């Protein structure tokens, strides 16, 4: 009979600094280093000065393991840079700012990160503890303000808990459903001297219990059999993949899942990259500005399998009509998302990757032929493709992105601002892998693209990173052009300029009887190329003619000597398809150039010409 020796207990070596008395600011830096932080984005100021001095001293004493500091033009830029770093890597992005306006300038990127489940840790300075509540210089109630915007917020009032607080912030940011955590540190806490422990977390009984329960959740035979019974009874199943697939690192698992059972797949805006957009089973993005063929597939499906998605209003529109005749399955790590918008016929609260792996293990013998439905979806994609006015001599924004796509072929990391260009990028740019399409989804924050692309490029120095932006979004954080030059960050900025807030103008055109209040910008006189040149861009060009576009794009892509800026003057155009707010998928507007199908009754997937 074989015997097995008990595994030897490996004693954890104490931290080399354990037991030493350190200044609070040095503790901040040491914990950041221990957490693997290699880049900090931020702006200094009085209340955070001790920690910025700590950055200098840490780098001076660790010449081989320096933590890079990127100083933006504005703290909002720092927040979006940290978010771009996190979105493109899955690692926690870090920003450090001062008190008062420094911290309040970060409310938008923190809320944006919370809405899109992005792991970020923000450290802000605060006035000394004795001054809190006195309206001291540059004091703001950061804890109160950020508590409603972040996943969690700390105000460090005990210097003996500083170390554990920072370590816990990283744990909270990256565990469960990821999100931003804010740590507000009074200046006197940064200046205090306490004994460094080298380990330890704060204890949060409720949160820790939930994380443990999540980890222990398993799909039983009974739960799995209910799912596969729904799948067996379906003839037109459709997977709906959201940002949770990417957050959980489940893109490869998703691909295995849909290939094993031959399930066509649509994605949300945040789910772009969870499956290669050119995959045979990909139906690209659904929803308000989703592709026509994706939305037709949603109309036709009889079993909707939601994976890491939250049924947001840009997807559902008319909630009662949405999937009125389909069964729904819902997998999500956040219990609060289950039943929030749509009641599922089958649901499981757990990590996406683990859940899909367990489902496939239970369903290894499941075998049903969905090939007629797959052919139906492929015919939808073939017969109702994206399109636009190809005959005009005007530079159409869709044409610009179609030409860019031919050059980059899904190999670049793409960030976007917010507006029409964002939707066209989602429609026309191919994305092969997760974390390669970065955009502000839930919040829809103009000004996101440029700083996010800088953060992504900093995190991925060997990748091509392109910011696809609009003139409106560009103005929001245009100061960060200088940041790209200052740190020689070779991001490529493609700006589509239609002299308007195009998306809002589109709504005014369609729903407000063409009353263009505050959206036309033809009176603006900014020369964006000169601005970029003044900031130090060696490549800064403007294209106004269709025949000049391809050569300009080729030069833009080929440029290697630092950041590049290309402005393209585009004609006004509407983003189609469009499902107007509150309307059903059956009322989708396809516009004058995208083919629309006639009304159909029952779908017979055994005959792919039945539609």
**Active site members:** 75, 137-138, 187, 503
* Structure-token match 């940002």, residue found: 243
Residues 6+ apart with CB under 8 A from 431: 272, 273, 276, 277, 410, 414, 437
CB-based burial of residue 488 (10 Å sphere; 0-12 exposed, 13-18 middle, 19+ buried)? exposed
**Token pair in block for residue 510:** 């369609």
DSSP letter, residue 520: B
CA–CA–CA angle 42, 28, 103 (5° rounding): 35
Name the 3-class secondary structure at 257: helix
State the DSSP string of 528-555: HHHHHHHTT-SEEEEE-SHHHHHHHHHH
Is the distance from CB of 159 to CB of 194 less than 8 angstroms? yes
DSSP letter, residue 588: -
**Token pair in block for residue 74:** 């504005």
Is the distance from CB of 438 to CB of 88 less than 8 angstroms? yes
Is the distance from CB of 565 to CB of 576 less than 8 angstroms? no
What residues does 239 pair with on adjacent strands? 265, 305
Residues 6+ apart with CB under 8 A from 391: none
- Strands 21-23, 193-195: pairing is antiparallel
Helix (H) or strand (E) holding 466: strand 465-470
* Structure-token match 């000065």, residue found: 49
CB atoms within 10 A of CB 56: 11
For residue 577, say if its preceding peptide bond is cis, omega within 30 degrees of 0: yes
Crossing angle for the helix pair 352-362 and 221-232, to the nearest 10 degrees: 80
Helix (H) or strand (E) holding 473: helix 471-476
Residues 6+ apart with CB under 8 A from 148: none
Start-to-end C-alpha separation, the chain: 67
**Token pair in block for residue 605:** 């997937």
Report d(CA 119, CA 280) in Å as an integer: 32
Order of strands, edge to edge, in the sheet holding 303-307? Answer: 282-285, 265-267, 237-241, 303-307, 327-332, 346-349
CB-based burial of residue 217 (10 Å sphere; 0-12 exposed, 13-18 middle, 19+ buried)? middle
Helix (H) or strand (E) holding 438: strand 437-438
Name the 3-class secondary structure at 516: coil
């Amino acid at each position: 009979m074989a015997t097995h020796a008990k595994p030897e207990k490996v004693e954890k070596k104490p931290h080399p600094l354990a037991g030493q008395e350190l200044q609070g600011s040095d503790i901040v830096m040491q914990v950041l280093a221990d957490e693997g932080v290699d880049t900090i984005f931020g702006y200094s100021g009085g209340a955070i000065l001790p920690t910025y001095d700590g950055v200098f001293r840490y780098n001076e004493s660790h010449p081989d393991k320096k933590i890079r500091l990127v100083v933006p033009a504005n703290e909002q830029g720092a927040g979006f840079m940290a978010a771009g770093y996190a979105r493109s890597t899955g690692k926690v992005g870090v920003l450090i700012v001062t008190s008062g306006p420094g911290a309040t300038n970060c409310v938008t990127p923190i809320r944006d990160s919370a809405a899109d489940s992005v792991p970020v840790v923000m450290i802000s300075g605060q006035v000394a503890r004795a001054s809190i509540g006195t309206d001291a210089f540059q004091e703001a109630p950061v804890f109160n303000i950020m508590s409603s915007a972040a996943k969690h917020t700390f105000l460090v009032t005990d210097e003996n808990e500083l170390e554990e607080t920072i370590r816990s912030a990283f744990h909270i940011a990256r565990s469960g459903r990821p999100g931003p955590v804010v740590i507000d540190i009074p200046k006197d806490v940064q200046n205090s001297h306490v004994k460094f422990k080298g380990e330890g977390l704060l204890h949060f009984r409720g949160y820790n219990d939930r994380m443990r329960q999540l980890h222990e959740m398993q799909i039983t035979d009974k739960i799995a059999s209910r799912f596969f019974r729904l799948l067996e009874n379906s003839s037109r199943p459709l997977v709906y993949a959201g940002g949770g697939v990417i957050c959980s690192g489940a893109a490869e698992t998703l691909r295995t899942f849909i290939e094993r059972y031959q399930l066509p797949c649509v994605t949300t805006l945040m789910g772009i990259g969870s499956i290669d957009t050119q995959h045979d089973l990909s139906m690209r993005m659904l929803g308000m500005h989703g592709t026509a063929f994706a939305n037709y597939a949603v109309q036709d499906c009889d079993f909707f399998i939601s994976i890491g998605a939250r049924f947001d209003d840009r997807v559902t529109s008319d909630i009662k009509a949405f999937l009125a005749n389909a069964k729904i399955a819902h997998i999500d790590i956040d219990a609060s998302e289950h039943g929030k918008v749509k009641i599922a016929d089958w649901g499981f609260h757990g990590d996406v990757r683990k859940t899909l792996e367990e489902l496939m293990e239970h369903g290894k013998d499941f075998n049903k032929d969905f090939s007629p439905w797959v052919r139906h979806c492929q015919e939808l994609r073939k017969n109702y493709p994206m399109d636009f006015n190809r005959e005009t001599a005007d530079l159409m924004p869709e044409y610009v992105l179609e030409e860019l796509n031919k050059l980059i072929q899904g190999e670049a990391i793409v960030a976007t601002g917010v507006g029409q260009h964002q939707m066209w990028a989602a429609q026309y740019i191919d994305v092969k892998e997760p974390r390669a399409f970065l955009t502000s989804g839930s919040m829809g924050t103009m000004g996101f693209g440029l700083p996010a692309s800088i953060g992504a490029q900093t995190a991925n120095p060997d990748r091509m990173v392109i910011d696809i932006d609009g003139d409106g979004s560009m103005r929001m954080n245009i100061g960060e052009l200088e940041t790209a030059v200052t740190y020689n960050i070779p991001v490529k900025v493609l700006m589509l300029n239609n002299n308007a807030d195009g998306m809002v103008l589109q709504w005014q055109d369609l729903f407000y009887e063409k009353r263009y209040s505050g959206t036309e910008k033809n009176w603006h006189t900014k020369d964006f190329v000169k601005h970029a040149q003044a900031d130090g861009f060696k490549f800064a060009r403007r294209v106004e003619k269709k025949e000049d576009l391809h050569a300009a794009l080729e030069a833009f892509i080929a440029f290697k000597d630092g950041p590049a800026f290309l402005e393209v003057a585009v004609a006004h155009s509407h983003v189609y398809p469009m499902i107007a707010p509150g309307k059903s998928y059956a009322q989708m507007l396809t516009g004058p150039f995208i083919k629309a199908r006639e009304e159909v009754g029952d779908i017979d997937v055994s005959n792919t010409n039945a539609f």
